Amino acid sequence: MLEIKNLKKSFGKKTVLKDINLIVNKGDILGIIGPSGCGKSTLLRCINLLEKPNGGEIIFENDNLVDNKSHIETRRRIGMVFQQFNLFEHMTVLENIIFAPTTLKIMKKDDAIKKATELLKEIDLFDLANHYPSELSGGQKQRVAIIRTMIMKPDIILFDEPTSALDPEMIGEVTNLMRKIAKEGMTMIIVSHEMNFIKNFCTRVAFMDNGIIKEEGTSKQIFENPKCEELKKFLSKINNY
Ligand SMILES: Nc1ncnc2c1ncn2[C@@H]1O[C@H](COP(=O)(O)OP(=O)(O)OP(=O)(O)O)[C@@H](O)[C@H]1O
Ligand SMILES: [Mg+2]
By most ligand atoms within 8 Å of CB, the mutation choice from 8, 32, 40 for ligand 1 is 40
pTM: 0.93
Q: How far apart are CA 199 and CA 173, in angstroms?
A: 18
Q: Which atom of ligand 1 is nearest to the CA of 34?
A: 21
What was the pLDDT predicted at 63? 85
Say if ligand 1 is within 6 A of residue 16 CB: yes
What was the pLDDT predicted at 215? 97
Question: For 225, how many CA atoms within 13 A lie in the half-sphere containing its CB?
Answer: 4
Task: Let me know how long the chain is.
Answer: 241
Q: Is 3 helix (H, G, I), strand (E, B) or coil?
A: strand
Domains and CATH numbers, the chain: 1-77+156-241 (3.40.50.300), 78-153 (no CATH)
What was the pLDDT predicted at 238? 82
Q: How far apart are CA 92 and CA 235, in angstroms?
A: 41
Q: Which atom of ligand 1 is nearest to the CA of 45?
A: 18
Whole-number Å distance, alpha carbon 42 to ligand 2 midpoint, is 7
Q: Whose CA is nearest to atom 29 of ligand 1?
A: 37
What was the pLDDT predicted at 240? 60
pLDDT tens track of the chain, all 241 residues? 999 999 999 999 999 999 999 999 999 999 999 999 999 999 999 999 899 999 999 999 888 888 867 677 788 899 999 999 999 999 999 999 999 999 999 999 999 999 999 999 999 999 999 999 999 999 999 999 999 999 999 999 999 999 999 988 899 999 999 999 999 999 999 999 999 999 999 999 999 999 999 999 999 999 999 999 999 999 998 866 6
- Which of 137-174 are b and which e, b meaning 16 or more Cβ less than 10 Å from the residue's Cβ? ebbbbbbbbbbbbbbbebbbbbbbbbbeebeeebbebb
What was the pLDDT predicted at 61? 87
Hey, what amino acid is at 60?
F
What was the pLDDT predicted at 138? 94
Q: Whose CA is nearest to atom 26 of ligand 1?
A: 36
What was the pLDDT predicted at 102? 96
